[in-house]
Amino acid sequence: MSQFPAVQENQDAKVEEVDQFGMSQEGASPEAFFGNGYRYRHDWGDRNGQHILNLNWGIITPNSLVFVAIGEGASGGGKFIGNARYTLHNVAPNNGVVSIWVNIKWGTPIRLSVDYFVFNL
């Protein structure tokens, strides 16, 4: 059984790097299908072990649908599959913040890159 991490960290989303996705096609707006959708990749730096990471982002509400993908960040951007195991345990949106619990099974700190997909209905 995993132990709850003792250390938590807060960082702010870089609003200038957020993209809204969905495009109107023949008069139908994406909002009609799934609300307002946003995507954002955050570099959490080098780390290993278990962490609660709180991303401060004003668009998040307790009712936001937040999907998260984690992985080893590649130099120059992107991600790749290496030998380390990256595990996402929980995702919890709240007012202005989304918290994730991650575990990186590796002996030394390595890059953590996190993709956030947010839908506000």
Looking at the domain assignment, is residue 1 inside a domain? no
Looking at the domain assignment, is residue 18 inside a domain? yes
Q: How far apart are CA 22 and CA 116, in angstroms?
A: 15
- Mean pLDDT, the chain, rounded, equals 86
Query: In terms of C-beta density within 10 A (0-12 exposed, 13-18 middle, 19 or more buried), how is residue 66 classed?
Result: buried
Given a cut of 80, whether residue 88 has pLDDT beyond it is yes
Indicate the range of 11-20, 67-76, 112-121 predicted with least confidence.
11-20
Per-residue model confidence (pLDDT) at position 14: 85
The DSSP secondary-structure symbol of 75 reads T
pLDDT for 22-77, tens place per residue? 544 455 555 544 557 899 999 999 999 999 999 999 999 999 999 999 999 998 88
- Domain total of the chain: 1
Looking at the domain assignment, is residue 80 inside a domain? yes
Question: Which strands sit side by side in the sheet containing 97-105, from one edge to the other?
Answer: 8-12, 49-56, 97-105, 85-94
- Segment 90-114 mean pLDDT: 97
The better pLDDT of the pair 52, 4 is held by 52
Question: Which strands sit side by side in the sheet containing 36-47, from one edge to the other?
Answer: 19-21, 36-47, 110-120, 65-73, 79-80
Specify the CATH number for the domain of residue 62: 2.60.40
Looking at the domain assignment, is residue 70 inside a domain? yes
Q: Which domain holds residue 71?
A: 8-22+34-120
Looking at the domain assignment, is residue 2 inside a domain? no
Looking at the domain assignment, is residue 14 inside a domain? yes
Looking at the domain assignment, is residue 29 inside a domain? no
